[in-house]
Amino acid sequence: MNFLQPTLKNENVILQPLKESDFERLYEVASDPKVWEQHPNKNRYEREVFQNFFEGAMISEGAFIIIDKESGEVAGSTRFYSHDEDENSIFIGYTFYGTKFWGSKLNPQVKKLMLDYIFQYVDLVKFHVGAENWRSRKAMERLGAENRGEISVAYHGEPNRENVEYWIKKEDWVFKQKLH
């Protein structure tokens, strides 16, 4: 089993390893232009652009399809990527949700599942968030992530985009969880 793609779940959401056969179900969610308005690549709703995104997800071997347990619907996708053994770090990102799930509290639950799981293996989790993606930047701050400044990021098969890098250290996450 690939440690970057377990099945993770709680009472509201299931993260299942992304499979090639998930393309159509996921594209149905991703084909809404509103989903990508604040993302660095605003035309990811176009089928061929999303196909490239999906390819990158499959190559990462750390991607998930997010399922809303109550409705059984595909809510979106997220992934682990760029595991750095020397630094003992990994990235979480490429996350998107269908507009129906915006404000539903699924995202904090998904991030908690992922962080609780991955901190068994790494000491640092990083996130790249589009510099103008204010919704996601706010979510990072609510999660307790530290803004480490702007950085230019090369996406799979796409030009570089301006992002903000956030970090959460294992010891900070564990301490925060003990408080709650």
Q: What is the pLDDT of residues 43-99, one digit of tens each?
A: 999 999 999 999 999 999 999 999 999 999 999 999 999 999 999 999 999 999 999
- Residue 177 is inside which H or E element, if any? helix 170-179
DSSP state of 155: P
CB 84 within 8 A of CB 62: no
CB 136 within 8 A of CB 128: no
Tokens encoding 33? 């232009």
Give the bridge partners for 91, in sequence order.
81, 126
Q: Which CATH superfamily is domain 8-179 in?
A: Gcn5-related N-acetyltransferase (GNAT) (3.40.630.30)
Does residue 1 have a pLDDT over 70?
no
